[in-house]
Chains A and B, each alone.
Chain A
Amino acid sequence: QVQLVESGGGVVQPGGSLRLSCAASGFTFSSYGMHWVRQAPGKGLEWVAFIRYDGSNKYYADSVKGRFTISRDNSKNTLYLQMNSLRAEDTAVYYCAKGRELERRYVFDYWGQGTLVTVSS
């Protein structure tokens, strides 16, 4: 069965950095695009970033462009999100999600349990 397990969350000061990881199992990780999605406390879902199966293309929400970097290591079945210049408004639960492709569009078919990032002094 598909499993996605996020880690790396915690408390960080404004302007600081954090790297999130998402360990994947139960499917051929190297064949699927992957997403990061976040949810601020009591708020809705916000897509953050996407990386194609081979890492050849990456896409970012405007709110994180230039500060966050998505990457993957297919040999380790792991997805990453490097977050720099963190702001209070980046405080959220961060989910990784597997992308299912259909006609070059990607729906999110499996999600991890999430990891909480809190940006506070």
Chain B
Amino acid sequence: DIQMTQSPSTLSASVGDRVTITCRASQSISSWLAWYQQKPGKAPKLLIYKASSLESGVPSRFSGSGSGTEFTLTISSLQPDDFATYYCQQYNSYLWTFGQGTKVEIK
């Protein structure tokens, strides 16, 4: 199975900060990586697919980059609505796997 490792596990930031979350795959997944946002008690929401494609309706302050085994999610200017947990996910194979999550907290 392909293992996904996110860092950091927790991130403290202020409104307006630029935030970057990293995701590493245990083997190459080309660009088959997605990012999801989850708020407490809610279902995950797709933000980014194919490493850098922004899902319809998602604010442009979210962006993704990377390929192979190293990926990043960047929030250019953190907004109050962005405090949540973020998960990366590989979908290169028919055994889908998620990272352990990164909780973005208010500093």
Name the CB-closest residue of B to A35: B96
Instruction: Please report which residues of chain A, range 81-106, place their CB below 8 angstroms from some CB of chain B when the two chains form the complex.
Output: 95, 100, 102, 105-106
A interface residues, tally (CB under 8 Å) = 22
List, sorted by A's number, 25 A–B pairs whose CB atoms are closer than 8 Å: A44-B87, A44-B98, A44-B99, A44-B100, A45-B87, A45-B98, A46-B98, A47-B96, A47-B97, A50-B96, A59-B95, A61-B95, A100-B49, A105-B91, A106-B91, A106-B96, A107-B49, A108-B36, A108-B46, A109-B46, A109-B49, A110-B46, A111-B44, A111-B45, A112-B43
6 extra interface residue pairs, beta carbon distance < 8 Å, beyond A47-B95, A61-B95, A62-B1:
A46-B98, A47-B96, A105-B32, A108-B44, A108-B89, A113-B42
Q: Does B92 contact A (CB under 8 A)?
A: yes
Chain B interface category by residue count: 20 to 34
* Cα–Cα distance between A75 and B49 once the two chains are bound (Å): 30
Whether A50 touches B94, Cβ cut-off 8 Å, given contacts A44-B100, A109-B55, is yes
Binding site for B on A (CB under 8 A): 35, 44-47, 50, 59, 61-62, 95, 100, 102, 105-114
Q: Does B101 contact A (CB under 8 A)?
A: yes
- Closest chain-A Cβ to B84's Cβ sits at a distance in Å of 13
Of A47, A95, A100, A102, which one neighbours B98 at CB under 8 angstroms?
A47
- Closest chain-A Cβ to B56's Cβ sits at a distance in Å of 9
* Cα–Cα distance between A94 and B87 once the two chains are bound (Å): 17
Q: A107 touching B95 by the CB < 8 A rule?
A: no
- Which of chain A's residues have a CB closer than 8 A to the CB of B94? 50, 59
- Closest chain-A Cβ to B67's Cβ sits at a distance in Å of 14
Instruction: Please report which residues of chain B, range 57-94, place their CB below 8 angstroms from some CB of chain A when the two chains form the complex.
Output: 87, 89, 91-92, 94
- Which of chain B's residues have a CB closer than 8 A to the CB of A45? 36, 38, 44, 87, 89, 98, 101
